[in-house]
Amino acid sequence: MSWLEKRWYRPDPLIWLLLPLTVLFWLVSACRRLLFRLGIKRSVRVNVPVIVVGNISVGGNGKTPMVIRLCQLLKQQGFHPGVVSRGYGGKAPYYPYSVAVNSDPRVVGDEPVMMRHHLGCPLVVDPDRVRGARYLIDEHKCNIIVCDDGLQHYRLARDIEILVMDGQRRHGNGYLLPMGPLREGAWRQKTVDFVVVNGGVAKAGEHLMSLESGQLVNVKYPSQTQSISELRKPAIALAGIGNPERFFKLLDSRQVRLKQKLVFADHHPFRDGDIPDDLVLMTEKDAVKCRDFARSQWWYLPVSAKLTEQFKQQLLEKIHGI
C-alpha cells in the first residue's frame, strides 16, 4: 500500500495538502452527473435487463468474486448472462474484445481473465459499455447483462445497481480522491438497489458477503491442487491487489506459516524475476499474469463469494419485476 493509500484509512493532517485536487475532482464528476441529469449527455438503454456491479471507493472491495457468483446464480435461474468489463490495464487491438480462458492479461486485463476461468458465459472488454452490451446481445444472444465496475459509467442505463463495499475499511476517511479513496461521495450508497458488504458487520439495509477459500492450485500446472493444510514449510505470500492485507489475513486464518510478505501495486504486470524461486502463495488475480514463467513451487488460493439467501431472493424478485 502506498504512502497516500495508508493515509486514507488513518488520520493525517497532511492529507489536506491535496484539497485543491479533490475540489477539482469533485467539480469534474459533479458536472458530468449534471450533464446526464439535464439530458445533455444521454444514458442508453439496451433491450435486456442490465445489472451493474461496482463500488464508490478504489481497490479491493470484492467486486470480482461478486460478479462471478452473480452470473452463476443467474445461470441457475435459466438466464443466459453476458459480462461487459472495462478491461482495466489491458490494451486490446479492437473493441468489443471477447475474453477467452487463455487470453493475455496484457491485452484484456487481469480481472477479466480471472473471471473467464469461472464463468460459463460470454465476457467482453470494452471501455464503451453500451457497445459491449449490444455485442453480447447481438452476437451471443444474452438475455441479461452484468456490467463489471460500471457504477460511474452513466452512459449505460441500468435496471439494478449493486454496490460492493469492504466491510472493514468501508469509506476510509470519507473524502473524495485523492484526499480519500472515494470515487463518488458516500451519498451514492443511498441511491443503489443493494449494498453488499464484504466481511465485517452489515448495517441496517446491507447484505453480508463472505469470501471462502478453496484448495491451493499450482500456477504452472493448474490440474495440480493441494489442501493448504498440507504445506510443510514456511511460504512467501505475494499480493498485487487493492487490499493485500485481506489476503495475508486469510492465510493467517488458515494457519499458514509465512516467512515473508511481498506487496505489489494493484494490477502489477508481473515479469520473470519479480518473484522468488521459492514456495510462493499468491492470489488468483496475480496468478493469471504469471502463467508463462511460473515455477512449480508457486500456488494460488482461489476464493468464492458466499451470499445470503435473503439477498439472492430479493435480487431475483427485483429481476423478475423488470
Tens digits of residue pLDDT in 86-107:
988 889 999 999 999 999 999 9
13 alpha-carbon distance from chain centroid: 30
Per-residue confidence (pLDDT) for residue 232, from 0 to 100 = 85
- pTM for the predicted model, two decimal places: 0.93
Per-residue confidence (pLDDT) for residue 1, from 0 to 100 = 55
Helices (H), 15-141: 19-37, 63-76, 105-108, 110-118, 129-140
Mean pLDDT rounded to a whole number for the chain: 94
Cell numbers placing 188: 451514492
> Is the domain 8-210+306-320 a CATH 3.20.20.70 member?
no
Q: What are phi and psi of 235, to 5 degrees?
A: -120, 165
Question: Which residue ranges are tagged as binding site for ATP?
Answer: 57-64
Quick check: 183 and 30 in contact, CB under 8 A?
no
Per-residue confidence (pLDDT) for residue 89, from 0 to 100 = 81
Cell numbers placing 283: 492470489
Q: What is the mean pLDDT of residues 269-281?
A: 92
Helix (H, G, I), strand (E, B) or coil at 152: coil
Question: Which residue ranges are tagged as binding site?
Answer: 57-64
Please give the single-letter amino acid code of residue 316. L
Q: What is the pLDDT of residues 118-140, one digit of tens each?
A: 998 999 999 999 999 999 999 99
Share of the chain above pLDDT 70, in %: 100
Quick check: 206 and 45 in contact, CB under 8 A?
no
- Give the pLDDT band (50/70/90) at residue 76: very high
Distance in angstroms (rounded) separating the CA atoms of residues 154 and 40: 12
Domain-wise residue ranges, the chain: 8-210+306-320, 215-301
Reported as half-sphere exposure (CB side, CA atoms, 13 A), residue 236 has a value of 12
pLDDT at 171 over 90: yes
Please give the single-letter amino acid code of residue 274. D
Q: What is the pLDDT of residues 196-254, one digit of tens each?
A: 999 988 899 999 999 999 999 999 999 999 999 889 899 999 999 888 989 999 999 99
- Give the pLDDT band (50/70/90) at residue 6: confident
Q: What is the pLDDT of residues 22-35, one digit of tens each?
A: 999 999 999 999 99
Quick check: 184 and 153 in contact, CB under 8 A?
no
Interior/surface letters 176-208, b for 16+ CB within 10 angstroms, e for the rest: bbbbbbbbbeeebbeebebbbbbbeebeeebbb
pLDDT at 50 over 80: yes
Q: Report strand pairing: 298-301 vs 280-283.
A: parallel
- Give the pLDDT band (50/70/90) at residue 4: confident
Q: What is the mean pLDDT of residues 64-79?
A: 96
Neighbours of 296 (CB within 10 A): 11
Q: CA triplet 216, 219, 222: central angle to 5 degrees?
A: 75
